Structure 1
């Protein structure tokens, strides 16, 4: 008779518990296939920009209420944020939902899919925790205005992440052609830091034909700063980005412009380097003000910190996504030249921000009308649902396995 050692019995017991949880999560999410698709379509077909996501807020909170969850609407002082939570004791896992769109091109970053996947993951894990009676808390947090408004940064300041959170979890859609080989997703998604700011130049109006010498031209200040920054781009690192627009450039040509406003993003792979680059960019604005005789005023938006990879969380996500048939790349050490306010969360609590593939034209990534169209397809929805199952299982492991939770905490504390 073969002897079964205690650790083997423990391993078998753990496997049975994981299999039971996985079956419950999958069954719960699959049972809600129709309402989840409806939620996705509602958000996709009614795109709203940051802090104006009224329809998305109503759609998501309405679905949660319909399933019996108690929902806090307008959470943490943000009118389009929300929160729902179940469970008690144990560890806490938070799923972050994004649902804002881009001006004029709708859900060209696929936040309808992010909202759907986080909603499905929350429902799947929350239902399973209640059904199996395990200790632990599961929360969904609605995070508005990721596209430049820094919703998560404001939520951090408002105390949304002050609890002892073992993991904050979400994932973002990407064009399938961005993944190498047969990979259909990415666990360790690395993104760069971004400072966002507007600069107002104030001068003095005058008749441009009769008495231009009495004017102080704020448009000259805006143009001078734009040109200076364009020249600065030749002297920055290849993995850094500076990009901006003139939002207000004056009214009519025969009046010296008294007021202009520019809007800029300053990006670098780490927050330290982004701070250094911002100092150089500000020198361009200040030189333009001095040379034209204008005054300037900075209007800072929330800074997006670089997104840090938590290898423990990534490792288990890769394993669980294999069960739904997805081959996930563990991590990408080269950061993509984009930014997210989930980076701020990754500096606050152990965090996971993965990526899942959706079909998109070969020349298209995000922030393009064709990507918005792709984000509304059945194929994209199916990918989001598979991702939801993987995220829910990741949350289960964090709640029930000390090795996973402690490893995630250790990775978080030792990241530079």
Structure 2
């Protein structure tokens, strides 16, 4: 970074995040964990985070880009732009079982640390903390992309918690992962419409929408035998009828179809739809699809990941650069990685050995002091990654080159 004093910047990042520790713990982390909200309903989180930032002197725009629970805070002028993504939605019934309270905390801490370092440097550069609602199925970032939230960005960054035991053991000591690659996912609902009738007195006059849902679910269960090991198909019946002596005239199912790439997901989706449509035909039901934004596979940027590993090493953290096989889960950050150089890392939080994401016990782990401290360590590394992108012309150029020419890494 030329004549820029890197150690001075690291010191500014560390002191700023350390000084904000308790405010972040109580005002963001715990507050969001105690008030879980699902996709596009994150009113408490939106109000809490925007007020937290306003109280610290930042200019904040609320309900941005046409989304009621999105927000934007910016600092700096001219120069390159880095977007820091904050997630804060929760899962139905099991709350922050994906740890989005920690994601919000780490992203806000990153913004605070990088803003302080940028001010101290006196250099040009722009930071944008972007509130990205509805990661859990609603595709908030896909809508934000369409609305222009990532236009002109040199990089977009965030990190996700995961159980530390999935990363680390006594021999390797990894505390995090830089390249958290994920797979593509098609998300949609199906509605089957039939005809109601008394199930005992005149069943022949009914068209059973529950039979269509069951037939679709069962045939997809057989299809799973013929799909690739890194592909996934999931479905639940959200509406299945009311009482057993009334033939259901309406059912609704929720589906995820995943494959490592969009091309693979498209092919698998066509096979899934063939089974769904066969079920509708066999039962005589009408079929309707309700589609949601597709989640693209996550493209890891080599230059950004290498820089993050180096910065985490500078503060004593041992971070794994990458894994050959992607995580068989999906994120709308994958959509962002298709349009701008992106970093989506992972930090490991302490859990029991048998605890995984999307589990109530992971939600409990995401509220601990230990998890909070880990997410702030990650924030220190991400804040310095931000500063490197803003101030180091070579890194910014290399990250763009990776994005344009090395997407298979």
Per the TM superposition, whether the score is higher than 0.5 is yes
Partner of 2:71: 82
- Give the 3-state SS of the residue equivalent to 1:160 in structure 2: coil
- 1:363-389 Cα offsets, whole Å, 9 max, x none, are 011111111111111110111101001
Of 289, 293, 297, 2:280 maps to 289
CA contact (8 A) 1:190 1:333 kept: no
Residue 26 of structure 1, CA deviation: 1.2
Partner of 1:170: 158
Q: Of the candidates 47, 66, 69, which is equivalent to residue 36 of structure 2? A: 47
Residue 210 of structure 1, CA deviation:
2.1
Query: Deviation string for 1:30-53 (max 9, x for gaps)?
Result: 121221111211111111111111
**When the two structures are superposed, what TM-score results if normalisation uses the length of structure 2?**
0.97
Q: What are the residue-to-residue correspondences of 1:12-51 with 2, within 5 Å?
A: 14=3, 17-38=5-26, 39-51=28-40
The within-5 A match list for 1:172-321 is 172-180=160-168, 181-321=172-312
The residue that corresponds to 1:8 in the other structure is none
Contact 1:194 1:265 in 2 (8 A): yes
Assess if the C-alpha contact under 8 Å between 1:193 and 1:270 holds in 2: yes
Q: How does 1:146-157 map to 2 (within 5 A)?
A: 146-157=135-146
Correspondence for 2:387 among 373, 377, 396: 396
CA distance in 2, matches of 1:210, 1:179: 59
Q: What SS class does the counterpart of residue 298 from structure 1 fall into?
A: strand
Which of 73, 82, 92 in structure 2 is aligned with 1:103?
92
Q: Deviations over 1:140-169 (max 9, x none)?
A: 0000111111111111122211x2111100
Aligned to 2:337: 346
CA–CA distance in structure 1, aligned partners of residues 387 and 397 of structure 2: 14
CA–CA distance in 1 between the matches of 2:389 and 2:241? 55
Mapped to 2, the partners of 1:197 and 1:239 lie a distance apart of: 20
Deviates most, 204-213 or 351-360: 204-213
Deviation at 1:297, TM superposition (A): 0.3
Separation in structure 1 between the aligned mates of residue 197 and residue 356 of structure 2, nearest angstrom: 46
Find the aligned partners of 1:68 and 1:297 in 2 and give their Cα distance. 49
Aligned length: 403
Counterparts of 2:104 and 2:115, CA distance in 1: 16
| Contact 1:244 1:265 (C-alpha < 8 Å) held by counterparts | yes
Aligned partners of 1:333, 1:352: CA distance in 2, in Å?
17
Deviation at 1:209, TM superposition (A): 2.0
* Structure 1 Cα separation of the partners of residues 146 and 288 of structure 2: 24
Q: Secondary structure of the residue that 1:77 maps to in structure 2?
A: coil
TM-fit CA distance, 1:29? 1.2
8 Å CA contact 1:169, 1:351 repeated in 2: yes
| Map 1:378-389 → 2, pairs under 5 A | 378-389=369-380
Report what 1:128 is aligned to: 117
SS of equivalent residue, structure 2 residue 343: strand
Q: Tell me the TM-score normalised to structure 1 length.
A: 0.95
How far residue 225 of structure 1 moved from its aligned partner, in angstroms, is 0.5
Structure of larger gyration radius: 1
> What is the distance in 2 between the residues matched to 1:365 and 1:250?
32
SS of 1:337's equivalent in the other structure is coil
Task: Calculate the aligned-residue CA RMSD, in Å.
Answer: 1.1
Check the 8 A contact 1:206/1:214 in 2, yes or no.
yes
Superposed CA offset, 1:144-202 (max 9, x none): 111111111111122211x2111100000111101142111000111111111100001
C-alpha displacement of 1:287: 0.4
Counterpart residue number, 1:336: 327
Q: Secondary structure at the match of 1:172?
A: strand
Q: Post-superposition shift, 1:132?
A: 2.2
> Which whole-Å deviations, capped at 9, do the CAs of 1:226-276 have from their partners, x for residues lacking one?
111000000000110001111111112222211111111101111110010
